[in-house]
Structure 1
Amino acid sequence: MKVRIGIMEEALIRKHMLAVVSGKYRREPNEPKIWFTSLNALGQILSPENLVLLRLIIEHQPETISELAALSNRQISNLSVTLQTLSARGFVELVRTGRKVKPIALYTDFEIIIDSALEARINAA
């Protein structure tokens, strides 16, 4: 599945969120769902290792983090931190069933938007 990722200044991201929540701005369907303040910040989350991890989750659909650790050749503790980060940023869902946690990759294809027209719409809200 593909997601649009927006790159914009932190102050504008904050202004955008507040305008949406207050009803002053209606998000358009083609607008980014995930926001970052820079390409560097995005690159830290979508590193080559994390992209491989997302593909492993999609291809093998592991039932647990332990199973994913075995597939990815990573330590469970390190992998858990990475999955928490990916989950917090909206790329992975961690589904808890009892004591088990199943990782689900939400996106594997990305479109990056750096759109000054979007900034103008947000500033006008």
Structure 2
Amino acid sequence: MSYFTFDNKQVYYNEIGIGMPLLFLHGNTASSKMFSEIAEKYKRNFKVILIDFLGHGKSDRLQKFPVDLWFYEAEQIIAFLNEKNYSKVNIIGSSGGALVAINVALEAPNLVNKVIADSFVGEKPLKSFTENVKNDR
């Protein structure tokens, strides 16, 4: 099992396959295990990267989830990509992971090639999320 350190905590990740990096981001209350089957299909053409956000799966627990959880999780991903010297990564995020993927692309566009934001909350991002994006950027 592989881990990297973020915020003095251990974040679990797994990389399988070869080729261009393809990062899968799970939603709230889930873990990277939700992508196990699909990772097997993509590993022939991509280096599939699975990560458990802090507080999920095999990563260290959190005493309390931060109010800005999706941004905090994006910071974890940016730190990971920088540590591994990855750039132009394709990201597929599901549910809360979709909002994390969008935040990663907005905060570190040099690290991202493409984003697929699947099944985020509602038919469109929450108004508070889009307002924060506009205000922050």
Q: TM-score, normalised by structure 1?
A: 0.30
Q: TM-score, normalised by structure 2?
A: 0.28
Larger radius of gyration: 1
- Bigger strand share: 2
Query: Which is bigger in relative contact order (C-alpha 8 A, separation at least 6)?
Result: 1
